[in-house]
Structure formats: structure tokens, C-alpha cells
Amino acid sequence: MRKEVPLLITILTALIVILAFFLTPLAQTQQILLRWYAIIGGFAMFVGVWNLLKKHVFQVSRGKNTFYSLVLVLGFFMTFAFGIYSIVKYKDAFYINSPFMFNFNYVLAPLQSTMFSLLAFFMASAAFRAFRIRRLEAALLLFAASIVMLGRVPAGYALWHKLPLIAEWIMKIPSMAVQRGIGIGITLGAVGMSLRIILGIERPYLR
Amino acid sequence: MNVHVTRRIVYLVVALAVIMPMLFLKGKPVTVSEPVSNAFQAIDTLKEGSYILISTDYGPGTMPEVNPMVYAIVRHAFRKNLKVVYLSVIDALGLALGDQVIKNVAQEYGKEYGKDFVNLGFKPGAEAVIVSLGKEIRDIFPEDVRGVPLDSMEITRNIHNLKDFAIVVDFASGYGITAWIRYAQARFGVFLVGCVTAVMGPENYPYLDSGQLKGLVAGLKGAAEYETLLGKPAIATRGMPAQSAVHILIIVLIVIGNILYLLEKRKRK
């Protein structure tokens, strides 16, 4: 029963949600299921936060990787406290001058932006050390990429006014054809995987 | 030269290529591409008082790229006296980011919360939330982010589902835009404009061609193009010289890398 019941729920839910696209009488049931999905999504976030905290509190108590775990635990409780305080005091956690938004704007956002901006350094370094024109395909890739990179910035227009047009053509014709191929491939894969889950062949949620 | 030393030199040159143009060069209006022009037209042709739904599905990591787009499009919306309703279905942090931008622009244009714009909040469950929005907004967002019932606010009193919005604009740094295309556009036929990071631009071109996206604003360049069309150059336009410098630098680095590689190969022979 421990396997059959979740399988039955999966099959029935999937069938109702899919059939509702074609059969209007099922629309209401589909709506209820989608609402449940959103509620479960909320609880899943709670479970995720709980697991993360549990893991790091455990690590702190064991004295293993203490520094980073401590930062995470303190960061979590600090943000949580700021959020509660902001809601109580300003009736809105997103109030511009609230401590929650101060923490968000001056701690979290700069940290995440910094992590993301490091990509520019890694990309430049990788381009210099690893991009080698060993074959015709690599030469073509470099040529197309250079045109798009130049055509997408004002300097490209200054170099040659037709460069942005050529860059746009590359994006609209050859690049789009490839993107379509990739998209169709991914979607076929997703359909196959979904069918396997609906039919109970693939059961990752039961593990 | 030692690999570590080379890497440090590359990092230093990249840092200079970003910082120097930002300090000493002033961005100029840029040439406008067709996808951005279409996005601009889609909003510009809306009647005063039309509703625009904004979904802020991005995070702080992509904030420097996406925030300028939010600024430009919300300025356009408020300038046209459109009613702005915003929410997030992917990233709660995106809501906090978008909220600040929209409130700043609202202040700039003297707009009032609850009358001209409203924040519905964040709900997890992307596709499920979008499909529910297509049926009845109150099913999933019975009240705004402050807990005020939608029926008690002037702006939300008469809106019930996605069909009440003249246009939906999604600011995305990931899966969000796909979810909006598949569920809001394909199922409910909404007018959709995508505002995505530069790397996501190419993968969204097929949706432009199929007409599922009415316009596409990609990356800081897209935001600069939108600012040019608005006639109000701002932060994205100021970032263009730095972006130009880094793009040119990367091409130069690849060329230098390959010349060194060929020289080394010849020496070995």
C-alpha cells in the first residue's frame, strides 16, 4: 500500500491535469489540484529550510565546518528576526527603510551580485587559456561569436554600422534554428520522462 | 609565463575594462533592435488605464542586468498611465527587488499604491500559480502583500484573471519566462513580453518568431535600447561603454591566446 497509494495519486492527478486541457468539465477539479500543488509547494519550501537548518546546526554542534555553518545559521535567524520585526513595525517586510530590506539590499543582494559578476573574470580567463582554433568548426564559432559580441554593443556599430544587422541575422536565422532543435529535443525528453512517471515506471518520489 | 600570473593579469585587465569606461565614458543612445522595438510598441500602443501584469522572476545575482529593464518598462507604463500589478511566481527575492524599483518609479511619477499600482506578493508553484491566474486571481492571491483584500482596492476590484490584463511582462533570469509562455500565453492567449538576461536571449528567439512573445528585451543592451526609445538614457546606457570594452577585450584575449598557441606549436615542430 505504501507504494500503490502514491502511485495512484500520481497517475490520477497527472491524468486529470492533462485531460482538463481538452475536457472542460474537468477544469474545476484541475483548479483544485493546482491550488493543492501551490500549497504543497509552500510546505516543500518550509521542509527545505528545516532540512538545511538541521544539517548546519548539527555541523556546528559537532564542530565540523563550523565557520560557514555558523554564518548560515546566524544569517538565517538574523533575516528571520528582521522580517518579523519589519512586519510588526511597518506592517510590510518590503518597506524600503525596514531592517529586513536593509539586510536584503546591503548584505544579500551584493553577495549574490558579486558571485554572479565573478563569471566575467572566469569567462575572460577561460577564453584566453582554453578557446583554441583547432578545427574549422571552432573557427566558425569564434567568427560568429565575435560578430554577435561586437554587434550587440555600441562599439560594434561604431566599427561598422552594418555589424548589428549581421549580429541580428545570426541570432534570428542560424542560432534560432539550433535553439529550436535543442528545444524540441528537450521537450521530447520531458514528454518521455513525464510518461514514465505517470505510468509508474520511474518513481523518484518514492525513494 | 606562469598560468597563475597570466590569470591574475587577465583578471586585472577585465577589472580595468569594466571600471575605467564607467568612470570616464558617458554612454550614448544605442541602435535599437527589432525585438526591443516590438516590446516598446506593444506597451506604447496600450490605452491609458489598461492593466499591465509584471512578474519579477529574477534574483539578486542578475539584478544589475534586469533592474535597468524594470526601471525602463515601469517608467514607460507610468508615463502611459497604465495600472501596474506585480507579483512573483519563481523567486521571492525577485519580488523584493522589483518592489523597490516600482516604488521608486511610482514616486517619480506621483503614483499611488492601491490606485495605480499594487504588489500581490509571491506564491511558489510557478505553473500552478500561472494557470490559477488564468482562471481567477483571488483563488491564489486573495489579498495583496500587505494583507489588503483585492476587492477593497480600486486597482484590483475589477480584475479577475489574465484576460483582464492588456499585457504581461515577465522579468526572468531562469525558468520563469518558459512557464509564462507555456501556460499564460499558449493556454490563455495573453500578450506577453519577455525581459531576460543576455545569455537567455537566443533561447527565446523561437518564441518571438512564433508570435508567442510580442517583444523581447535581453540583457543590459536590451535595457539600453529601451531607454533610447523612451528618450531617457539611464543606468543601462551608462553601462554600455563598459560592456563594449569587455566584449572587445574577450575577443582580443581569444586572438592573443591563439597566436601564442600557434607560436608554441611552431616552436615545438
Q: Cite the DSSP H helix spans in chain B.
A: 3-24, 34-44, 63-79, 92-108, 126-135, 137-140, 176-179, 186-188, 201-209, 219-230, 235-268
Q: Which pLDDT score, from 0 to 100, does residue A73 have? A: 93
| pLDDT on residue A2 | 76
* 8 Å CB contact of A128 and B27: no
With 0-12 / 13-18 / 19 or more C-beta atoms within 10 angstroms meaning exposed / middle / buried, residue B12 is: exposed
- Asked if B48 has any chain A CB less than 8 Å from its own CB, the reply is no
Contact B250 A34 (CB under 8 A): no
B173-189 tens-digit pLDDT: 988 899 999 889 998 99
Tell me which architecture the domain covering B29-245 has in CATH: 3-Layer(aba) Sandwich (3.40)
Note the pLDDT of residue B4. Answer: 67
Identify the pLDDT of residue B3: 64
Chain B residues within an 8 Å CB radius of A116 = 61-62
Q: What is the pLDDT of residues B23-73, one digit of tens each?
A: 998 888 888 999 999 999 999 999 999 999 999 999 988 998 999 999 999
Tell which residue, B180, B197, B177, has the closest CA to residue B61.
B197
Q: How far apart are CA B15 and CA B22, in angstroms?
A: 11
Instruction: Give chain A positions within 8 Å (CB) of B61.
Output: 112-113, 115-116
Interface of B with A in 210-249 (CB under 8 A): 219, 221, 240-241, 243-249
Judge: B128–A37 Cβ closer than 8 Å, yes or no.
Answer: yes
pLDDT averaged over every residue in chain B = 92
Q: Is the pLDDT of residue A189 over 90?
A: yes
Do B14 and A96 make contact, defined as CB atoms within 8 angstroms?
no
For A:78-107, CB contacts with B below 8 A are 91-92, 94, 96, 101, 104-105
In this prediction the ipTM stands at 0.81
Q: Which three cell numbers stand for residue B110?
A: 506621483
Q: Quickly tell me which residue has 512578474 as its cell.
A: B55
Q: What is the pLDDT of residue B173?
A: 92
CA geometry: angle B135, B58, B50, nearest 5 deg? 45
Going from the C-alpha of A88 to that of each of A78, A98, B19, B92, B265, the distances in angstroms are 15, 11, 41, 20, 68
Report how far residue B86's alpha carbon sits from residue B168's, in angstroms, rounded to the nearest whole number: 10
User: What SS3 state is found at B149?
Assistant: strand
- List the domain boundaries for chain B: 29-245
CB nearest to A172's CB, from B30, B205, B261: B205
Residues B166 and B47: their CA atoms lie apart, in Å, by: 9
Rg (CA), chain B: 21
Residue to mutate among A94, A134, A184, with most B CBs inside 10 A, is A94
Give the list of residues 6+ apart from residue A172 with CB closer than 8 angstroms, or none.
B205, B209
Query: If you average pLDDT over every residue of chain A, what do you get?
Result: 88
Residue count (chain B): 269
Q: What's the CA gap between B199 and B225, in Å, rounded?
A: 17
Residue in B162, B177, B61 with CA at minimum distance from that of residue B120: B162
How many Cβ pairs closer than 8 A exist between chain A and B? 166
Q: Has residue B2 got a pLDDT over 80? A: no
In tens, the pLDDT along B111-147 reads: 999 999 999 999 887 888 898 899 899 988 999 988 8
Cα A63–A66–A67 angle (5° rounding)? 155
Measured between beta carbons, which residues in chain B are less than 8 angstroms from residue A34? Answer: 125, 128, 131-132
Residue identified by cell 500589478 is B85
Chain A residues with CB under 8 Å of B244 CB are: 153-156
Question: Residue B248: helix, strand or coil by DSSP?
Answer: helix
Nearest residue in A to B103, CA atom: A96
Is A34 within 8 Å of chain B by CB? yes
Q: Which residues 164-193 of A have a C-beta within 8 angstroms of B?
A: 164, 168, 171-172, 175-176, 179-180, 182-183
